[in-house]
Amino acid sequence: MCGQRSRGSSRGGRRHCRRPGIRTSFQEREGNQEGAGEGFRRVFAQGNRNNDSWGEGGIMRYSQLFLPTGREIPSDAEVVSHQLMIRAGMIRKLTSGVYSYLPLGYRVIQKVENIIREEMNRAGAQEVYMPMVQPRELWEESGRWQHYGKELLRFRDRHERDCCLGPTHEEVITDLVRNEIRTYRQLPKNFYQIQTKFRDEIRPRFGVMRCREFGMKDAYSFDMNEAGVDESYRKMYDAYTRIFERCGLTFRAVEADTGSIGGSFSHEFMVIADTGEDALVFCTLCEYAANLEKAEIARPEKEDTSQGEHLPVEAVHTPGMKSIDEVCGFLNMKPEDIVKMIIYSADGVPVAVLVRGDVEINEVKVKNFLGCDLLEKADEEMIYRVTEAPRGYAGAVGINVKIIADYSLLGMSNFVTGANREDYHLINVNVGRDFAVETYADLRFVRDTDCCPRCKGALKFARGIEVGHVFKLGTKYSKTMKATYLDRNGQERFMEMGCYGIGIGRTVAAAIEQHYDENGIVWPVAIAPFQVIITPVNVNDHRIAEISETLYASLLHRGVDTLLDDRDERAGVKFKDADLIGIPLRVTVGQKSLVNGVLEVKMRKTGEVRKMPQEELEHMIVSFIHEGM
RNA sequence: CGGGGCGUAGCGCAGCCCGGUAGCGCGCCUGCUUUGGGAGCAGGAUGUCGGAGGUUCAAAUCCUCCCGCCCCGACCA
C-alpha cells in the first residue's frame, strides 16, 4: 500500500472515496449498463455514464457497483461477522490472515476511520503517517528486537540490512519526537495515524477479527510529567468512549494487562459479544471491570496457616496418578486438599508456583510478579532437574528453587503434594514445617465464587472483543530511547508517554457481531456503507423508474448516502440483498405504494414499514439519520 | 510447533473405501414467459480433480513427498 489513500478532515461522517478510475474501468468491462432496465435507460436517454458525475460519494448505483453478494455460507468462515462480511461482498481473503476490502467493506472502514478522526482531532491529537518498514536498530534500542517474538515479521533488504514490518509504532514516533522536540514549550503533544500494521499471528482466525495485516489507529502522547500523561490518558479514554458510542457498539472499558507494549497500566475497550476471544470480569456493585487475565483477587484477611494440629508427613504409593483428579479419586480427597505445583522456566531459571488443587494458575500474573520476559512451563528435562522425578509428582518439599505461592494456600494444612518421586505423593504436608514459601501473591484466575477486589460485591463474567486499548507507558520508551526535553529550569527530563490503539477492521467485525439477524447485517446508521437503499420493484416501469430517480437525486442532494438498486432483478432478489448488506432504511418504489401517491420505507432493524408522501419521507429520512449519527 | 480435517467448475458439495478418464445444486451466458421476499421453461459454457513423482494397460480414486487452507491446542495482540 502506498501512502496515498485519500483522506482529510471532514464533517459529519461523510466518507471520501473519490476514485475517478473506477467509472472508466467499469464501463469498459461491463459495456452498456447491463442490469439497469429499460425504464432507467429511457429516463436517462443518454446514459448516466456520459453525463452523470458520481460526485463525492462515488458510485451509488447498484448496477455499477462491484458488490458480489453470496447466498452460500463460506465453508471456512466460523463466526457470523466473517460469514456475513464475505456474503455481503465486503471482503475477500488473499492468504491466511490477509484480506482485501471491496467497495462496500471499504466504505464502512472509511466511516469508522472518519469517526475516529473527528474524535481524535477534537481531543487535540494531530494526524501523521509513519512508515511500515522499520530498521532493526530502532527496535534494538527499545529492546524489543529481542523481546517481541515471532510476531514481529523480520526480513532483510538487498543490502542485507535487517528490517521489520511495524506491528506498532512506539519506536518510530519516539525517534521522531526525540529528534524534534527539545523544550517543555513544545509539550504536550499527541500524534496519531491510521495505518496498516502487520503482526505475524500464530493463528489468524475469524476473518478480519484476528488477522495478520490490519488497519489500526494508533496515537502516542508526550507529556512533561505524570500529571500530564494522566490527563492525556483521560482525554483518550473519553475520546474512545465517544468513538465506540458513535459506532453504535455496546462496550465496556476494562483494566488490562499491558503485554508486550509495556507501561504501568492500561484499559481495553471491549465490545461485549459471546464470540469474543477475551473473558471479562465485572462487579455487580461498583465500577470495577477487568480482563480475566488481569482481574485481581484480594489477599484473604485471615491468614492462619497454623490452624489445627500438624500431622506427621507420610509418603503414599500412588501408581500412575498424575493429575489432580486421579490423585483425588485414588486418595478419596477433594481438590481443595491438594497443593498443585507447576515448575516454570522464567527466562530460563526454574521457579516453583504453588496453588490449591481446585484453582487455575494465571500465567500473566505469574509473569508480571516475576518481572521476566519469557515465562513458559518447564520441559520434562527441567522438571526432572528440579524434582528428580517425572512430570506429575512434583512437590515443594525438598526442592531447591524459588517457591512462590498463591493466596489460596493461606489457611491450608495437612495437604497433599507430589513426593518428587515417581508414583508417590505426600500427605499431611504443612508450609513452614516442611518447606518455606518465599512469597504469597495473587497468582490465579478469578472464579465466579470470588468477590470484587474493590468492594466485595459479586462478580459477573462476560466475553468481549478487544477493539481498543489505551496504555499509560510512562518513561519505558523515553528512557531506553532517550527522549528528553528541557524543563523550565533547564533540567533535562524524560518525557512521559501514553499510547492508544484502535483496531479498525476489528471494530467493523465487532459491530456486525452485535448487529445482525437471520437475514444479514443490521448496520448502525453511523457506520452503514449506505444510509438508504432505494428499491424500485420493477425497473422497466417508467413511472417507478422516474420516481426512484427523482428521490435518489433529492436524497443525494440532501447529503444522504443513498444506494439506488437500479438492477433489472426481481423484487425478492433486491430485498434479500438489501437485508444482507444491512442498509438501515429501504425505500420501496412499486405499484402498491404508488397507487396512493405515497412511498414506503422499511426499517432494517425493526422491520417496521411506514408510508408517506415523498416530501415527508425525505424529512423523515434526514431526521432518522441525524438521530442515528 | 503438536493433534485433527479439507483441497474436485465462480460458490456450496457428491464421486475416492471397491481404479475404467467427472457429476449435482446455486451462480454465469442466450431466448421466451414472469416481476412486492433469492421465478419458470428451453438451450448453453466452464474443470491442468492443489502440485510433483510413483504403481498400473488405465489414477480424482492406490502409494510417496511437497504446497495451501480450516479447526483444536500451545502462544499472543
CA A163 to C1' B52, whole Å: 34
Bridge partners of residue A492, in order along the sequence: A486
CA A276 to C1' B70, whole Å: 19
CA A583 to C1' B48, whole Å: 42
Burial of A499 (0-12, 13-18, 19+ CB in 10 A): buried
Check if residue A75 sits with its Cβ under 7 angstroms from strand B. Answer: yes
| CA-based nearest residue to A501, from A199, A224, A288 | A199
Burial of A451 (0-12, 13-18, 19+ CB in 10 A): middle
CA A568 to C1' B42, whole Å: 21
Give the predicted TM-score (pTM) of the model: 0.89
Name the grid cell of A373.
Answer: 520476559
Check if residue A226 sits with its Cβ under 7 angstroms from strand B. Answer: no
**Amino acid sitting at position A277:** E
A538: nt with nearest C1' to CA: B35
**Amino acid sitting at position A157:** D
Contact A338, A356 (CB under 8 A): yes
Count of H-run helices and E-run strands, chain A: 18, 31
Bridge partners of residue A196, in order along the sequence: A215
Contact A145, A163 (CB under 8 A): no
Check if residue A97 sits with its Cβ under 7 angstroms from strand B. Answer: yes
Q: Give A243-283 pLDDT, tens digit per residue.
A: 999 999 999 999 998 877 777 789 999 999 988 889 999 99
Contact A292, A459 (CB under 8 A): no
Check if residue A78 sits with its Cβ under 7 angstroms from strand B. Answer: yes
CA-CA distances (angstroms) from residue A24 to A16, A28, A61, A64, A544?
Answer: 19, 6, 15, 11, 28
**Amino acid sitting at position A21:** G
- Based on its alpha-carbon atoms, the radius of gyration of chain A, rounded to whole angstroms, reads 30
Q: Rounded to an integer, what distance in angstroms lies between the CA atom of residue A273 and that of residue A202? A: 23
Q: What is the pLDDT of residue A2?
A: 36
A207: nt with nearest C1' to CA: B70
Q: Rounded to an integer, what distance in angstroms lies between the CA atom of residue A82 and that of residue A76? A: 9
**Helix or strand (DSSP H, E) at A376:** strand A375-377
Residues of chain A with pLDDT under 70: 1-55, 302-307
Q: Where are the alpha helices (DSSP H) in A16-143?
A: 20-30, 38-43, 48-51, 80-87, 103-122, 136-142
Residues 38-67/A with CB within 7 Å of nucleic chain B are none
Residues 253-282/A with CB within 7 Å of nucleic chain B are 257, 259-261, 268, 277-278
Q: Rounded to an integer, what distance in angstroms lies between the CA atom of residue A595 and that of residue A591? A: 6
Q: What is the pLDDT of residue A303?
A: 60
Q: Rounded to an integer, what distance in angstroms lies between the CA atom of residue A91 and that of residue A84? A: 9
A569: nt with nearest C1' to CA: B35
Q: Give A291-318 pLDDT, tens digit per residue.
A: 999 999 988 876 655 567 889 999 999 8
Residues 463-492/A with CB within 7 Å of nucleic chain B are 465-466, 469
DSSP E strand stretches across A396-481: 402-406, 415-418, 424-429, 439-441, 459-474
Check if residue A537 sits with its Cβ under 7 angstroms from strand B. Answer: yes
CA A574 to C1' B50, whole Å: 36
Q: Which residues contact A95 (CB under 8 A, 6 or more apart)?
A: none
Q: What is the pLDDT of residue A31?
A: 34
Q: What is the pLDDT of residue A373?
A: 77
| Nucleotides in B strand less than 7 A from protein CB | 1, 11-13, 25-27, 29, 34-39, 68-77
Residues 561-600/A with CB within 7 Å of nucleic chain B are 570-573, 575-580, 588-594, 600
CB atoms near residue A156 (< 10 Å): 10
Contact A466, A252 (CB under 8 A): no
Q: Rounded to an integer, what distance in angstroms lies between the CA atom of residue A314 and that of residue A605? A: 68
Check if residue A121 sits with its Cβ under 7 angstroms from strand B. Answer: no
Q: Rounded to an integer, what distance in angstroms lies between the CA atom of residue A495 and that of residue A188? A: 9
CA-CA distances (angstroms) from residue A461 to A292, A294, A306, A469, A501?
Answer: 9, 13, 34, 20, 24
CA angle A371, A376, A380 (to 5 degrees): 135
Q: Which residues contact A151 (CB under 8 A, 6 or more apart)?
A: A167, A199, A200, A201, A202, A260
A589: nt with nearest C1' to CA: B36
